[in-house]
Structure 1
Amino acid sequence: MNDGGDRLPWLVVRQDDNGNRYRVGAYATRAEAEQKADQLDAHGHKQLYLIEQAAAKQQ
């Protein structure tokens, strides 16, 4: 499966109260990822949204 890691290197990850982590989306720029995290953060229920750079693919 190709998740677009080469073109979309910035990830938004949600971490729940138990420490479980879920990828919310992948974005081309850090600014896009931050904007999405800010939108999600504004929705009331407090979750932790993190911005991470995707790991480089090994070939």
Structure 2
Amino acid sequence: MSDGGAVLPWLVIRQDDNGNRYRVGRYATKDEAQKTADSLGIKGAKQLYWVERLQQTSR
């Protein structure tokens, strides 16, 4: 998958208090995604944020 031609395989996922999960953003590097997840996680809310790698599919 790509966004404007760039490959963005790293996802930041948010889980709220009710267990609902949402994709927050897509990033080119794991480091960039982790920095975003870390910055969102320090806001004091009870939501969880983590980084996942998007699975590559063969065509």
Runs of 4+ residues over 2 Å off in structure 1: none
Give, in angstroms, the shift of residue 44 of structure 1. 1.6
The residue number in structure 1 matching 2:22 is 22
Matches within 5 A, 1:14-53: 14-53=14-53
Structure 2 residue 33 is matched with structure 1 residue 4: no
C-alpha contact 2:16 2:46 (8 A) present in aligned 1: no
Please give the TM-score of this superposition, normalised by the length of structure 1: 0.82
2: CA distance, partners of 1:13 / 1:58: 24
Structure 2: which 5+ residue stretches go unaligned? none
Q: Which runs of 5+ in 1 are unaligned?
A: none
* Number of aligned residues: 57
Whichever residue aligns with residue 34 of structure 2, its letter is: E
Q: With the length of structure 2 as denominator, give the TM-score of the two structures.
A: 0.82
| 1:30-51 CA distance string (max 9 Å, x none) | 1000000011011121210011
